[in-house]
Amino acid sequence: MTVPTPPSLDPEALRAETPILGREVHGRPLVYLDHAASAQRPRAVIDAMARHYERHHANVHRGAHQLSAEATDAYEAARAAIAAFLGAPEARSLVFVRNATEAINLLARAWGDTHLRPGDEILIPVSEHHANLVPWQMAAERTGARIVPIPLRADHRLDLDAFAERLSGRTKLVAIGHMSNVLGVVHPVAEIAERAHAVGAQVFVDGAQAAPHLPVDVADLGVDAYAVSGHKMMGPTGIGALWVRADLLASLPPFLGGGEMIAKVDMERSTYADIPNRFEAGTPAVAEAVGWHAATDVLREIGMDAVWAHDHALGEAMIARFDAIDGVTTFGPRGADRGGILPFVVDGVHPHDVATALDAEGIAVRSGHHCAQPLMAALGVPSTVRASTHVTTTDAEIEALADAVVRARDFFAPRP
């Protein structure tokens, strides 16, 4: 995680390649600081999808005709590229899905329903996104397993001592986000996986927030499954992926039934295709896979070390700037394991009102509970404002944000 001499990236050059950043909002230049919710598309992604539709589109894995072969090649090339981007040893263990949420639901059904028994325990941090909590609550309800929360320390890092105390022979799964979508902290997933494996538990990681912002190598991390989302990585919406250790994936039953996922079908029963097709029923999001492939090429060209160094530096700059503002409270740890996400509240002012004030100045941030209500309870607030950065974010945007927050504070809660 520590980068001694941070490789640099040029946000201005990347901005020039991201058309939407040229627009205005309420007559002001757009300052987009909601990348954690959805990143913006570089021209390369938009062009790759247009080119696919203009030149190569057809259904995949079916027709004998030329276009079908080209579309299939493009789709499988995207699978290989995204698998490689995540450090996956084999492309066939990467399943395309709609989004990271669907990836986790797939696991909760295909693995959860076949492996969880009454009394089994699923360890989940209190800071998790609902996408990595609710599917497991549903699986626990179906199987009689139970959720055991892993608390945070006072500095908002995961409490690893409490985690160790909760690990036991009953632990069947540790479901954990690689990077918190609210606190911006990167959890020590490799260490957690090692300890979990020592008691025989599986480790499934929600990588939706980490994969766009830091180098990910699922083999190095030693985890059993890793879920990602295309649109947070500057790719299209409507596509995500689930990587699962090949031997584990091969042992799981299908999640959805239909075309594409079968070997042979007769009226009474069917046999199922090998991985990954067994988990890809129906026509997949082919153009989206192509666009996502292009997005990973952009990120690869920048270099994920450089992306992380940039986000981390912006995160530090935001914290330093906001800690100097009276009447503003920030959350999350300080340090090398913190990326470019800053949750904050203006004391006495509701986050929605702050977000509306920022929007009036063309600044896009998220306000609300960020799909992490148990975390909000742990932090003792109903909701927060959240600013989040990516490769196109500049220091000037952070300054604009901080200045606008001061104006919002003074508008809603005038100082005596």
Which of 76, 305, 350, 364: binder of other proteins (CB under 8 A)?
Answer: 350
- Catalytic one among 25, 371, 381, 406? 371
Contact range with other proteins by CB under 8 A, out of 216-224, 276-284, 287-295, 351-359: 351-359
Beta carbon of residue 126, minimum distance to other proteins (angstroms, whole number) = 16
DSSP line for 23-36: -EETTEE-EE-BTT
Minimum distance between the CB of residue 294 and other proteins, rounded to whole angstroms? Answer: 31
Nearer to other proteins, 272 or 412 (CB): 412
Residue 377 beta carbon to other proteins: minimum distance, rounded to whole angstroms: 10
Out of 30, 138, 246, 360, name the contact with other proteins by CB under 8 A. Answer: 360
Per CB under 8 A, 369 contacts other proteins: yes
Site for other proteins contains 373 (CB under 8 A): yes
Q: How many residues bind other proteins (CB under 8 A)?
A: 18
Q: What are phi and psi of 63, to 5 degrees?
A: -65, 155
The residues pairing with 185 across neighbouring beta strands, listed in sequence order, are: 338
Of 386, 372, 337, residue with least CA distance to 186:
337
Quick one: which of 70, 337, 353, 403 contacts other proteins (CB under 8 A)?
A: 353
Q: Is 68 in the site for other proteins (CB under 8 A)?
A: no
Q: For residue 277, what are its two tokens? A: 């097709």
Residue 410 CA from chain centroid, whole number: 35
Greatest distance between any 2 Cα atoms in the chain: 78
Burial of 357 (0-12, 13-18, 19+ CB in 10 A): buried
403 makes contact with other proteins (CB under 8 A): no
Site string for other proteins, 101-130 (x = CB under 8 A): ------------------------------
Q: Which residue from 376, 379, 391, 398 is in contact with other proteins, where contact means CB under 8 A?
A: 376
What are the residue ranges of helices labelled H in 59-212? Answer: 66-85, 100-107, 113-115, 134-143, 160-166, 189-198
383 lies in the site for other proteins, by CB under 8 A: yes
- State which residue, 249 or 376, has the beta carbon closest to other proteins: 376
User: Which helix or strand (DSSP H or E) is residue 20 part of?
Assistant: none
Q: Confirm if 190 and 218 have CB atoms less than 8 A apart.
A: no
Rounded distance between C-alpha atoms, residue 1 and residue 338, angstroms: 10
To the nearest whole angstrom, how small is the minimum distance from the Cβ of residue 365 to other proteins? Answer: 12
Using CB under 8 A as the binding rule, whether residue 347 contacts other proteins is answered as: no
Nearer to other proteins, 36 or 357 (CB): 357
Is 29 an active-site residue? no
Q: How far is CA 385 from CA 137, 324, 341, 343, 355, in A?
A: 27, 17, 11, 6, 7
- Asked if 246 interacts with other proteins (CB under 8 A), we say no
Which residues are paired to 29 by β-bridges?
A: 24
Minimum CB distance to other proteins smaller for 253 or for 382: 382
What are the strands, taking DSSP E only, across 315-413? 328-330, 341-346, 363-364, 366-368, 384-388
Which residues are part of the catalytic machinery? Answer: 371
Q: Which residues would be at the binding site for other proteins (CB under 8 A)?
A: 26, 349-353, 356-357, 360, 367-369, 373, 376, 382-383, 411-412
